[in-house]
């Protein structure tokens, strides 16, 4: 899933598959089953270097879309970015 058109084109060219767009609009059921989910969200919203707005910043709510996909697909493992202040939000 990628919203940046240039990054999306790069992924599609390099990995030879169609990249979905905005993950907030992707139906989790439509995602193929997988064993590992690697996902990210803008860390600035949680970081002590950023404004630390957490879930008050709409970028931070992407965390809940990852959780929604994890709940639906139940992969064996997942990897998220380690952001120091994430657990305090």
Residue 38 is among the residues annotated as catalytic for this protein: no
As a dihedral over the C-alpha atoms of residue 74, residue 76, residue 80, residue 83, rounded to 10 degrees, the angle is 100
Query: From the candidates 43, 62, 69, 83, which is the catalytic residue?
Result: 43
Dmax over Cα atoms in the chain, in whole Å? Answer: 39
Give the distance, in angstroms, between the CA of residue 88 and the centroid of all CA atoms in the same chain: 19
Q: Tell me the catalytic residues.
A: 43
């Amino acid at each position: 899933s990628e919203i940046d058109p240039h990054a999306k084109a790069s992924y599609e060219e390099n990995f030879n598959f169609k990249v979905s767009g905005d993950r907030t609009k992707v139906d989790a059921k439509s995602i193929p089953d997988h064993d590992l989910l690697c996902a990210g969200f803008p860390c600035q919203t949680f970081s002590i270097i950023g404004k630390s707005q957490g879930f008050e910043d709409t970028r931070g709510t992407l965390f809940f879309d990852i959780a929604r996909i994890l709940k639906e697909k139940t992969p064996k493992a997942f990897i998220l970015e380690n952001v120091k202040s994430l657990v305090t939000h």
